[in-house]
Each structure stands twice: as structure tokens, then as C-alpha cells.
Amino acid sequence: MIRALAAATAALALAASCLAPPPPIVVSTPRGVVRAHSHPDAAATAALLEELAPGVRALLPGSQDRSVEVWVQQDLQLFRFGTRPSSVRGFTYLAAPFRARRIHLQSGGATRWYLSHELVHALIDSSWATLPAVLEEGLADAVAERLNPNERTSIRAHRLLDASAFTGGLEVLLGYEQQTPTGNRRRELPVRIHFHPDETPQTALELLDTGRRGLFSSRGTVAESYYGFAWLVVDRIVARRGFDGLHALCLEASEKGLEHIPAEELLAAAEIDLARLDPDFLASCFTRDEFRRALSIRPAAFAEVPLNLLDGLRDELDAHDLLVRARPTFAIAHQEPWPLLAIPSLREALLATW
């Protein structure tokens, strides 16, 4: 017993010695402590923590009134060795289920979005235990978009593009002016764009059938497309039933002794039919402003469309003439089109590759 205790103590000491050191600059707030490597990062994040933590609690039933420690790091690290992938902008380190030890955030970038997201992981209590693990990610993004109206369009556009893996891509219309002997004629060409490898309805069902303990152990790092699908399901449920309605589904599943809410109940609440989850469905989810934001988020992917479909114009038009004379546009779902000239990042991507 003594040897076992000594071995356990030594193992804990070794693990502690491997943890990344805390950032040196500390700002204390009524909502928790923020540590960072610069005074501006520490002060700005502390102000956000004071603002956003009460917002999370006000939106979400089953959230804990507790302080939270936040580390702002140049490179996200839990341990001294190794860093998180660059695509990961934050994570929550749990001491036990529903007991957060601290939040790690990458300095710079969309701090409001990522802090709001991680605060959901840090503050929800065990009454959410029957929510499938991937939907906790969707819940975090659904809260983030509602707490940050200035970033809502960006959050939604990102997640709709991510969800396109489950809809067979996104179908868009490329419009342009074609010169003919009798004058210019406007043409529109439909094209489907794939931003991620396609996923199947079976994968969607498997995700909804995976509890908190199984997601990372069975799949490792969660793909961005899974975040998109999770957000889509949660956002549609919340739009119809509110956060209280989603929480009620968790409580009902718990009362029945279920590990998690059945997939069919979640899909019914979201009004999603996996058999009809197609590019037309996805296009209908975008507002015009969200589609404009999507064009600027993935300019290289969208720029490939005119590069491929209008290749025959290369001998006649340089990139600048293409934009001015052919006047290419993108549109979806019977919306008014967006001229490529109106999207700076997309315009630059086309100019660089034409």
C-alpha cells in the first residue's frame, strides 16, 4: 500500500513537471484569473471574461456559477512537449467531467468567439451529460454566435461551410458576361464545390450515437466538418425550441437512464432528414450576407471555379479584364449575386492565379 501510494505520488509529480508553465502576467477578475504573456492580452481577455461568462450563464440552463482560469498562449500547450495543431484556437482542460481546471486560448484571432465557445465547455454541469459529445461543440458555437452579434455572420458562414461535408458540397451559380457578335449575353453555370471530404449519413448517425467518453478516443482530433454538422443540428434545435428545449431533451434522456439522447429525437427536433441533406438544403441555410462572408473565408476554393469553367477566356482576357469585362458573380439559392470585384480576398485570389 505504501509502495503503491509512493508510486502514485511520484507519477503525479512527474505529470505535473511535464505541464507547460503558466504565463507570467496575471489579471484577477470576479469571474476568474487570466494569465498571458503580454499586458494587453491579459487585460483584453480579462475584460472579455467578465463580459462573456455571465452571458453564457444567462443563456444556458444547467450552467455553473464558478470562477474560471484562462491561459492565453502564443502556441497552445498543455504539456511542455508538443503543441496543438494550428487549426485549434482554444481548448478546455478538465480535472474531471464537468469540472474545468482552466481554458487555454491562442493569442490573437477571434478571441470573443473562442472564449465564448470554451466557456460553455467550462461552465455546463452534469445535467448536459446526455448530450452527444459532438453536439457539445455545436452547443458552444451556438452560444458564441448569440453572445457576439458582430461575429455572428462569420461564425455561421464558417460552420455552414464545414457542414457542407455532410450535404455533398455547396452548389453555386457562376455568372458572367459572354461576348457574342450580337452583343454581350449573361450566362450562369451551376457548379458544386467541395470544401471537405464528403461524409455519409452513416457517419452523422455514428457521431450522434457517441457519448462524451467515446468521441476523442474513437476518432482522435475532431474534424472541422464535424463541428459544422454539430452546429447545424444544435442551431436548428435552438431556433425552434430554445436552449431550454435542448436542455429538456437531455433531462428526459437522463430520466430514462439513457447514455445520450437518441439520434432520431435530435434529428426530429432539428427538422433534419439525413436523406435530404443535400447542396440545395445547405444553400437554403445561408443568408446573402453569410454567403458573402463564406466567399471571403475560402477565396482559393471559390477562385478555382472561374479558373476551371472560364479557362477558354484566358487567351482573350487577362485577370483584370476578366473581372471588369466578364463581370463574374457568385450566387446561391435564388439570391442576388455577389460580384467578385466586391470580395477583396476572392478578387486577389483570382488575380494571383488567372
Q: Tell me which H or E stretch contains 241.
A: helix 224-255
Mean pLDDT, the chain, whole residue set? 90
Q: Tell me which H or E stretch contains 281.
A: helix 279-285
Asked whether residue 328 is assigned to any structural domain, the reply reads: yes
Whole-number pLDDT of residue 145: 97
Asked whether residue 44 is assigned to any structural domain, the reply reads: yes
Last residue of a domain, one of 65, 92, 123: 123
Choice among 16-30, 126-140, 240-254, 307-321 with the minimum mean pLDDT:
307-321
Asked whether residue 143 is assigned to any structural domain, the reply reads: no
- Evaluate whether 53 touches 18 at the Cβ level (below 8 Å): no
192 and 64 share one domain: no
Domain that holds residue 182: 167-198+286-353
Name the more confident of 127 and 312: 127
43 and 185 share one domain: no
37 and 173 share one domain: no
- pLDDT tens digits, residue range 109-134? 668 999 999 999 999 999 999 999 99
| CATH number, domain containing residue 23 | 3.30.2010
- pLDDT tens digits, residue range 30-45? 999 999 999 999 999 9
191 and 292 share one domain: yes
- Amino acid letter, 224: E
Could you give the strand order of the β-sheet that contains 183-193, starting from the edge strand earlier in sequence?
183-193, 170-180, 329-331, 338-339
Asked whether residue 212 is assigned to any structural domain, the reply reads: no
What is the distance between the alpha carbons of residues 119 and 5, in angstroms, rounded to a whole number?
Answer: 35
Q: Which residue has the cell 472541422?
A: 224
Last residue of a domain, one of 123, 143, 178: 123
Q: Long-range pairs for 188-194 at CB < 8 Å and ≥24 separation?
A: 188/331, 189/309, 191/305, 191/309, 192/168, 192/279, 193/164, 193/169, 193/301, 193/302, 193/304, 193/305, 194/164, 194/165, 194/168, 194/169
Task: Please compute the mean of the pLDDT values over residues 220-243 and round it to a whole number.
Answer: 93
24 and 119 share one domain: yes
Whole-number pLDDT of residue 218: 43
CB within 8 A of 52, min separation 6: which ones? 112, 115, 116, 119, 147
Asked whether residue 159 is assigned to any structural domain, the reply reads: no
**How many distinct structural domains can be found in the chain?**
2
Quote the pTM value.
0.89
pLDDT band at 266 (very low <50, low <70, confident <90, very high): very high
What is the distance between the alpha carbons of residues 354 and 347, in angstroms, rounded to a whole number?
Answer: 11
188 and 302 share one domain: yes
Neighbours of 165 (CB within 10 A): 23
Whole-number pLDDT of residue 17: 65
Last residue of a domain, one of 104, 123, 142: 123
